[in-house]
Amino acid sequence: MKKKQKINKKRLVLIIAIFIIIIAIVVVVVRHKSTVGTLAEQDTTSTGEVDNNVIEDQTENEENSGEEPKRKITEWNLMLANSDNILPEDYEVEVANIDSSRQFDARAISYLNEMLDAMRKDGITNVWVQSAYRSVERQKELYDNKVNEYLKQGKTQEEAEKLTSEYINKPGSSDHNLGLAVDFNYVNNSFAELEAYDWLLENAEDYGFILRYPEDKEDITKIEYESWHWRYVGEEHAKKMNELDMCLEEYIEYLENEDI
């Protein structure tokens, strides 16, 4: 009995060994075939027609990944207005008065007021809102005036528009048109030398505001650094954006492609 069992064990080991060898051979053959297949495909891509198809496929994929984000961001406080996202001419928003001549989005004005109050409480009194909500129509006036100024200086239409675009967004492409932006004081970068600016860098996120056009994001925002221009996005987003060191364009793309 014992001897028979031993023989059976030996056979079993042999069968397993053969089985493993067969699997190993199959794996090697399949791998080899797929390598040959890849090489063959690469060879065919060197002929014009196939090559074009491959390129077309790639561009299609790239376009798709650009056009079809995982989700669309529709929150009002994250609305993007820039040269690629022009607001319709009839865009309307409910605004509330900051003072007799300036308005802000009615849903966000309390945060702006709280922020200004907090600044004053911290002893910063030389800060004021120079400009806030502008209708698309008003934006067009400002834009055209600036273009005309450059034209008078002898610039061509193209040069004038290019120079203007560096400082004034085209009508419908500004978050002033959304009612979610404020410009402080003299609307120039002397603002960056004030204590108010440092205070905002440190505390604005607590009230949901961000520096909309940072110095190191000019390539993405397509707008030159504006220390005076602050935009409401809501506290949660403002903090996250600062943490990730993202401007609004980057942040929206990040949210759109984030796993749900």
Residues binding Zn ion (CB under 5 A): 183, 229
Instruction: Give the shortest CB-105-to-Zn ion separation in angstroms.
Output: 14
Instruction: Give the shortest CB-82-to-Zn ion separation in angstroms.
Output: 13
CA distance 177 to 80: 11
* Cα separations in angstroms, 45 against 49, 60, 61, 141: 8, 17, 18, 55
Q: Which is nearer to Zn ion, 217 or 255 (CB)?
A: 217
Q: Which is nearer to Zn ion, 73 or 129 (CB)?
A: 129
Instruction: Give the shortest CB-50-to-Zn ion separation in angstroms.
Output: 52
What tokens were used for 1?
Answer: 């009995």
Q: Whats the size of the chain, residue-wise?
A: 260
Instruction: Give the shortest CB-230-to-Zn ion separation in angstroms.
Output: 8
CA distance 2 to 153: 109
Q: Which is nearer to Zn ion, 217 or 229 (CB)?
A: 229
CA distance 146 to 165: 9
- How far apart are the two ends of the chain, measured CA to CA in Å? 64
Helix axes 2-45, 48-67, angle to 10 degrees: 100
| Selected catalytic residue, list 137, 193, 202, 226 | 226
Q: Which is nearer to Zn ion, 229 or 237 (CB)?
A: 229
> Which residues are CB-contacts of 250 (< 8 A; sequence separation ≥ 6)?
217, 220, 244
Closest by Cα among 135, 56, 138, 152 to 93: 135
Asked if 195 is an active-site residue, the reply is no
Long-range Cβ contacts of 235-242 (<8 Å, 24+ apart): 235/111, 235/205, 235/206, 235/207, 235/208, 237/77, 237/78, 237/208, 237/210, 238/204, 238/205, 238/207, 238/208, 238/209, 238/210, 239/205, 241/210, 242/205, 242/210
Instruction: Give the shortest CB-123-to-Zn ion separation in angstroms.
Output: 25
Q: Which is nearer to Zn ion, 105 or 183 (CB)?
A: 183
* Residue at shortest CB range from Zn ion: 229
Q: Which is nearer to Zn ion, 52 or 190 (CB)?
A: 190
Instruction: Give the shortest CB-217-to-Zn ion separation in angstroms.
Output: 15
Q: Which residues are catalytic?
A: 226
